[in-house]
Amino acid sequence: MKLWEKGIPTLQAIENFTVGKDRELDMYLAPFDVLGTMAHCLMLESIGLLDKAELSAILAALKQIYQQIQAGQFAIAPEVEDVHSQIELLLTQTLGEAGKKVHSGRSRNDQVLLDIKLFMRHEIERIVQLCDALITTLLALSETHRQALMPGYTHLQVAMPSSFGLWFGAYAEALAEDLMVLQGIFKTVNQNPLGTAAGYGSSFPLDRQLTTRLLGFENVAYNAIHAQMGRGKIEKNVCFGLANIAQTLSKMAMDITLFASQDMGFVSLPDALTTGSSIMPHKKNPDVFELIRAKCNRLQSLPYQMNLITQNLPSGYHRDWQILKEDCLPAFDQLAACLTMLGQTLPELRIKPNILQQDKYAYLFSVEQVNGLVMQGVPFRDAYRQVADLIAQGQKPATASLSSYTHEGSLGNLATEAIRAKQRQAVESFGFGSIHQALAYLFDYN
């Protein structure tokens, strides 16, 4: 079955090529196609295109399909083009004439765009929850290891004293700010495209405000052409948000692989977190962190892939958009897996004590010596030169204490509560609760 079928056969090779991976990828969208159809049918009844008996029967059938999807009992038949066609076919087989009415005032264009937005909205919530949990873990580790000193580097050269408290806190704050970026993108996703049809609206008196409320959208994507031009741009922007988080995770994973190397030796990894070598019995390889690095680096390419596919398309619908799903839809699972793995492994890292006692870190506190002279009234540039001369003579600066670091975000003042406030503000700004309420009402309607 095809929603556009008019009794004229299509060459099988053409059909296979144009359908592509839709049957496989549309399984991501199946539950959201049901929700969108429920809201659309409630709206059709409100404007007189369905009667109450038809609406009741359609909603009952859709809820049954939804339950089949959730139970893993739903499939797209080989002869059916996509999930939209499959659901409409099931409704028609079950209800007869009423099932044929559900597409009134709707095009597959706005149907697909709606499904993608609902899917992304749902998946963004999952990513936000995983980021929230990882930030909480990082902040707890930051407090636990606040006095565990380590060297800080610039240009991969020993620079100034740092701490694991500062390091864990850095990634907590980075992820909180990544969520702020994602929230701005989420606001553009959370706009209702239903009712724009093929990109030029409909001559039916559609109530788009009603479907917006029923589906828990924050606002309407008003202009029909603009809404359809959102295909590709929506995917690119969301992938940018995911890539932004992936960049943070990739850097963290890279740090850990360095810290666990024998040359640095800041942390050790329990055997359960490592793999071995086929010929070197001593090896303990940080494969999990290397794979997080690689997967997250690949995720960072997604916005560019989305852009290359869509950058020179004029307004109106184009089938090019179909292949965006191939990389975009699975990306959420890939990022979620990396977030989950870091949440499980980070608490298992073993921080080595007394790292700074090694001779190679002897000059780590030179800046503190300069600052000490400045506090005694020596101009900074003169103090810098005095300490440089002492270092040239082989003198090593004394170790400073954490108590000399007092400003927010320093070794002695990690500003954990301030970062936690950023975390709470970022997570709460998504407003997922109102979406849950709207969808609960929609699904409970009878």
- Active-site residue numbers? 155, 277
Residue 151 pairs in a beta bridge with 161
Bridge-based pairing state of the strands 350-351 and 267-268: antiparallel
Q: Which two tokens stand for residue 293?
A: 């690095």
CA 442 – CA 446 distance, rounded (Å)? 9
Over its C-alpha atoms, the chain yields an Rg (Å, rounded) of 28
Q: What angle do CA 68, 71, 74 make, to 5 degrees?
A: 45
Residue 162 pairs in a beta bridge with 150
Q: Which two tokens stand for residue 228?
A: 């359809």
**For tokens 């930030």, what's the residue?**
135
Give which of 289, 258, 252 is closest to 170, Cα–Cα: 252
Beta-carbon count within 10 A of 14 CB: 9
- Are 328 and 343 in contact, with CB atoms under 8 Å apart? no
CA 172 – CA 346 distance, rounded (Å)? 12
Q: Burial level of 116, CB count in 10 A (0-12/13-18/19+)?
A: buried
CA 91 – CA 107 distance, rounded (Å)? 17
Buried b (16+ CB within 10 A) or exposed e, 216-241: bbbebbeebeebbbbbbebbbbbbbb
Q: What are the counts of helices (DSSP H) followed by strands (DSSP E) for the chain?
A: 16, 6
